[in-house]
Structure 1
C-alpha cells in the first residue's frame, strides 16, 4: 500500500515535535473498518430480537404455519435481559484489554456472542422465554467487551488530528447494524422462512468477522507486521507513544476522582437511557400507535438509524475540521456536538409525544430527528475517553458504559410498567418520551459544565507520582506553617 507524506501541524502533546502526516488509506483505516464492522454486527445481533419478538408473539406474522409462536407476557423484560449481562464485565473488559491486548479478547467475545445468537430459536421453542433471557444475558456479557475493546484500539491507532473522524466511523457501526437488522429481520419475519432465520444469519456474520479480525487486526501499530514505518511513526508521535513503553498500572484513584471522567459517565447515563428507549421500543411503538404491520414496520423503524448513520460522518468531519483549524478548542467541540446530539433529540421526542396518531409522516420525521441527530454525540462524549487518556480509554469506556447501562435495563422496564396494559394509549407513550428528553438534557448540562478535552495528568503514571509528591509537600508545608 503506497502512501504519501505531507507536513502536519505541530502537536502540543509531543512538545511541538514535527509530525509528518501520512495521507491516504493506511493500516489504521483497516483497524477502524474492523471496529466499524464489529459494532455493526454486534448491534445487528442485539436488535434482531427487538424486531423478531413482534413476530414471535404474532401467529399471523409469517405465512408458514410451522413457524413457532409464543404467548409470552413479559416482552419488555425479555428485551431488557440483554443488559443484565451487558453491565457486568465492562470495567474488567477495559482493564484486561489494556493489560493483555484486545485482539484475542474481542475474538473470544464475538465467538460466545455469535453462538448465543444462533441458539436462540431452538432455545425459545424448547425452553421458552427464560431460555431466551439466558441467551440474551450471555450475549450481553460478551458484547460488554466490545466498546472497551474499540476504545483500547482507538487509543493506540487514532492520531489526534483524525480522532473525531476515525472515532465516528467506528461508532457509525451500530447505526448501520441497526438499519440492516431491522430491514432484514422484518422481511425475514414476514416471509415463509420466519423469524428463526434472522438469528442464524446474524450469528453467521459474527463468525465471518472473526476470520477477518484474526487476519488483519493488531493491538498496536508497533505489533502490526505490514504497517509502514512512516505510518507507525506518525501515529506514535501524534499520541506520544514510545514503542518501549511498559504496560502501566491503572491509576484507579485518579480516575474515580477526576471530574472530567464523571462528566463523561453522566453524559453516557443520559445517552443510554434515551437511546435504549428508542432502540428497544420503536418497533412496538410503530406497530401499536401507527398501526403499521410487520413488513412496513421494519422500513419505518430503520429510517431513523439511516439518518444516524449518514449524519455521524458529517458531524465527525465537521468536528475534526473546526478543531484542526483552531476555530474552537477540542473541549468546546466535544461540548458543542454533545449538546446538539442531546438537546435536539429531546425537542423531537417531546414533540412526538404530543402528535396525533394519524400524523404518521410528522411522527416519523420526529423519530428520524431524535435518533439521527443523536449521532452528534459520537463527536461529543463518545470519543472523549481517548481525549482524556489514550492509555486508559478502554478502562474509562468500561466504567462509563458498564455503569450507565443500568439505565438500559431500567428504561425498557419503565415502558413495561407504564404502557404494558395499553400499548395503544398515546398519552402513556408521552410519559416515556418526556422522561427520556429530560434525562437527555440534564446529562448534557452536567457534561457542558464539567467536561474536558485535554489529556489528564494521570495518563502518565510518572506525572501521577510527581503530582502526589507535590500534594504531600504542600500538605507538609501547610502543617509546618501552623
Structure 2
C-alpha cells in the first residue's frame, strides 16, 4: 500500500525524494545483490584464469610430489589459452536480448552451471583427449561466460541508483579482479602440492555450483520481484531510475550503432580486453621464461597486479561517486578521468617493462603491479558507462561492446605466439608490450573525445525531460 502511494505520488511529480532517502537504510537489498554479483564475477574469473597458471604445471613433470599427477608436452599452449575466447563472443548479444525479454535469473543459472561443469571436466578431458579436450572445454566455458557481462549489466540497470552507480557497479565487476587474485595466487600452490593441478579445476568449478544455489535463493531480476526488500528501498531505487512498470522497449539499433558515445566505450573495451588478455594469459610465461621465477613465485606474482587492482577499485569508485555527487565534475568528465588513469598509466608502465634488464626483475614486477592496480580506473570509467547512456538497454549495449571486442582477446595471444617465437628472448616480448601500450593509448584518446555520461535520447523515446533529468542526477 505504501509503495503504491509513493509511486503514485512520483507519477504526479510530487515525490519527496529527501523523505524517501532518509527512510532508506544505507545498507539494503541492493547491496546484497551487489555481493551476489561480486561473487559471480569472482568464481567466473577463477574458472577463466586458472588455466593460465595450471598449464605450466600440466606441461612440467616435476611440479607435484605426487607421481600420479599427469603431465603433458603441448606445443600449442597459446592456442589452448586463446580457445576460451573463441566461444566468448558468440552469445554476448543473444544473451542480452534474451535476458531483456525473459529475465536474467534462470539464464544466469544455466550459464554458470555450464561453466562450472566444464571446469570440473578439464582434467578428465585432458587425460583422454589431450590439448584438444581442453580446447573443447574452454570453448564451452567461453560460450557460457560470454553471457555474464551483458546479463550483469541488465541487472545493474535495475538495481544501481545513479548516485551509487560507481560503487555498486565497480564493486560488482571487481569480483573479476578478486577472482584472478584467488585463482592466480592459489593455483601454483595447489599444483605444487600432493593433490596437483587437477584439484584447482575441481575447486573452482564447485564454487560456481555453490553460487548457483545461493543465487536461486536470494537473487532477483529487479527490486519489484524481490520478496524481502522494504517498501522504502524499492521506492528509492525505482524513483531514482525513473522506473516505469515493465514494458518491452524496442531496441533502437540504428541509434545505438550511430552513437559516438557508444563507440567510444566500445573502443575502450578494445584496449581493456587486449591488455587484460596479455596480463592474464602471458605474464605467467614472462615471469617464468624471462625473470626465471618458479611456478609458486609465478602464481603469487601473477596475482599481485590484481591485488593492487582490487584495492584501487574500492578507492577509485568511492572517489568517482563523490566527485559526481558533489558536482565537482560531471558524470562524463569523471568517467573520462578514471578511464584515462586506467589506460594511460598502464600504457607507460608496460612500455617500460620491455626495456628493463633481466637482472632487475624486481623493477619489472613492480611496474606490472602498478599496471594492474591503476587499470581499476576503467571499472568506474568506461566499464559502467553503458548504464549512464541507457539504463533500459544497458545489457544490450554490453552484449554489443563485449561481443565485438572479444575478438581482440582471441587475437592478442595468437599475436604473442607469432611474435614471441623464442620465449626466452626479451626483445620479442618488448615488441608485445609496446603494441599493447599503443592500443591502450589510442583507444583512450578516442574515448576522451567522444565519450559521454548523459542519458541518450534513444534510451526511451517516450520518456519526458523530467525523468531524463532524474536519471542524470
**TM-score range for the pair, normalised by the shorter chain length:** over 0.9
Give the distance between the partners of 1:268 and 1:241, measured in 2 at CA.
Answer: 29
Which piece of structure 1 moves more, 16-25 or 437-446?
Answer: 16-25
How many Å separate the matches in 2 of 1:109 and 1:280?
A: 23
Displacement of 1:35 in angstroms is 0.5
1:357 maps to 2:358: yes
Which residue in the other structure is 1:35 paired with? 37
Q: Is the 1:248–1:461 Cα contact (8 Å) retained in structure 2? A: no
**Structure 2 partner of 1:260:** 261
Q: Compute the displacement of 1:15 (Å).
A: 10
- Alpha-carbon distance in 1 for matches of 2:106, 2:337: 36
Aligned mate of 2:173, from 171, 174, 187: 171
- Alignment match, 1:475: none
State TM-score, norm by structure 1: 0.92
- CA displacement at 1:59 relative to structure 2: 0.5
2:411 equivalent in structure 1: 410
* Mapped partners of 1:200, 1:90: distance in 2: 26
Please state how far the C-alpha of 1:18 moved relative to its aligned partner: 2.7
- Note the alpha carbon deviations across 1:254-293, whole angstroms, 9 max, x for none: 1111111111111111111111111111111111111011
Shift in Å, 1:222: 0.6
Residue equivalent to 1:290: 291
Matched with 2:196 is: 194
Q: Name 1:457's counterpart in structure 2.
A: 457
Instruction: Give the distance between the partners of 2:296 and 2:157, measured in 1 at CA.
Output: 41
The alignment's TM-score, normalised by the length of structure 2, stands at: 0.93
Q: Does 1:230 align with 2:232?
A: yes
Q: What do the CA deviations read for 1:401-438 (whole angstroms, capped 9, x no partner)?
A: 1110100000000111111x311111111011100000
User: Using the alignment, how far apart are the partners of 1:346 and 1:287 within structure 2?
Assistant: 22
CA distance in 1, matches of 2:351, 2:25: 44
- The 5 A counterparts of 1:52-131 are 52-131=54-133
Q: CA shift at 1:312, angstroms?
A: 0.3
Structure 1: state its 5+ residue gaps: 1-10, 465-482
Superposition deviation, residue 17 in structure 1: 6.6
CA distance in 2, matches of 1:455, 1:360: 46
Distance 2:319 2:232 in 1: 26
2:398 alignment counterpart: 397
Distance 1:16 1:257 in 2: 36
Query: Is 1:85–1:141's contact at 8 Å kept on the other side of the alignment?
Result: yes
Paired residues in the alignment total 450
**8 Å Cα contact 1:251-1:461 kept in structure 2:** no
The CA distance in 1 between the partners of 2:15 and 2:452, in whole Å, is 21
- Distance in 1 between the 2:40 and 2:191 partners? 24
Q: Deviations over 1:185-224 (max 9, x none)?
A: 1111111111101000000000000000000000000111
Change (3 A) 1:452 1:17: farther
**Helix, strand or coil at the partner of 1:357:** coil
Report the CA distance shift for 1:15/1:155 in structure 2 as closer, same or farther (over 3 A): farther
Residues 333-387 of structure 1: per-residue CA shift (max 9 Å, x gap): 0011000100001110011111011112111110011111000001110000000
CA distance in 1: counterparts of 2:126 and 2:272, whole angstroms: 31
CA distance in 2 between counterparts of 1:275 and 1:112 reads 24
Q: Residue 128 of structure 1 aligns to a residue in which SS?
A: helix
- Counterpart CA distance in 2 for 1:48 and 1:263 is 31
1:298-339 CA deviation, whole Å, 9 max, x = no partner? 111111100001100100000000000000000000011000
In the other structure, the counterpart of 2:468 is none
Q: Determine helix, strand or coil for the equivalent of 1:23.
A: coil
Structure 1 stretches (4+) deviating beyond 3 angstroms? 14-17
Give 1:463 shift: 5.7
Q: Distance in 2 between matches of 1:309 and 1:98?
A: 30
Residues 311-326 of structure 1: matches in 2 within 5 Å? 311-326=312-327
Which residue number corresponds to residue 439 of structure 1? 439
Structure 1 partner of 2:17? 18
- Cα distance in 1 between the residues matched to 2:431 and 2:328: 40
* 5+ residue gaps, structure 2: 1-9, 465-473
